[in-house]
Chain A
Amino acid sequence: NAGVTQTPKFQVLKTGQSMTLQCAQDMNHEYMSWYRQDPGMGLRLIHYSVGAGITDQGEVPNGYNVSRSTTEDFPLRLLSAAPSQTSVYFCASSLRTVYNEQFFGPGTRLTVL
Chain B
Amino acid sequence: GQQLNQSPQSMFIQEGEDVSMNCTSSSIFNTWLWYKQDPGEGPVLLIALYKAGELTSNGRLTAQFGITRKDSFLNISASIPSDVGIYFCAGSQAGGTSYGKLTFGQGTILTVHP
Residue among B4, B33, B101, B103 with the most chain A CB within 10 A? Answer: B101
Min CB distance, B39 to chain A, in Å? 11
Cβ-defined partner of A101 (8 Å) among B1, B33, B42, B88:
B33
- In the assembled complex, B85 has its CB within 8 A of some CB on chain A: no
A 9-43 binary contact with B (CB < 8 Å = 1; else 0): 00000000000000000000001010100001111
- Find B100's partner among A31, A44, A59 (CB 8 Å cutoff): A31
* Cβ < 8 Å to B, chain A residues 73-113: 90, 92, 98-107
In the complex, whether B80 has a CB less than 8 A from a CB of chain A is: no
Q: Check if B102 is an interface residue, CB within 8 A of chain A.
A: yes
Chain B hits for A59, CB < 8 A: 1, 101, 103
Look across to chain B and name the residue whose beta carbon is closest to the beta carbon of A90.
Answer: B42
Identify which of B9, B33, B44 contacts A100 (C-beta below 8 A).
B33
User: Does chain A have a CB within 8 A of B104?
Assistant: yes
A66 close to B (CB within 8 Å) = no
Which of B9, B33, B48, B99 touches A50 (beta carbons < 8 Å)? B99
If the complex has contacts A102-B45, A104-B42, are A41 and B100 also in contact, measured as CB distance less than 8 A? no
The answer to whether B66 has its CB under 8 Å from any CB of chain A is no
**A52 interface contact, C-beta 8 A:** no
10 of the cross-chain contacts (CB-CB < 8 Å) are A4-B42, A33-B100, A40-B9, A40-B107, A42-B6, A42-B105, A42-B106, A59-B1, A59-B103, A101-B33
- CB of A104 within 8 A of CB of B100, answer no
Contact partners of B45 in chain A: CB under 8 A: 101-103
A48 to B20, CA, bound (A): 32
> How distant is B29 from chain A, measured CB to nearest CB, in Å?
10
Residues of B within 8 A of A48 (CB): 100-101
| Interface contact A44-B104, CB-CB below 8 Å | yes
Q: Which residues of A contact B75 (CB under 8 A)?
A: none
Q: Are the CB atoms of A100 and B92 closer together than 8 Å?
A: yes
Please tell me if B31 contacts chain A, counting CB pairs below 8 Å: yes
Enumerate chain A residues within 8 angstroms of B90, measured Cβ to Cβ: 43, 100
Chain B neighbourhood of A102, CB < 8 A: 45, 102
B1-18, CB < 8 A from A: 1, 4, 6, 9
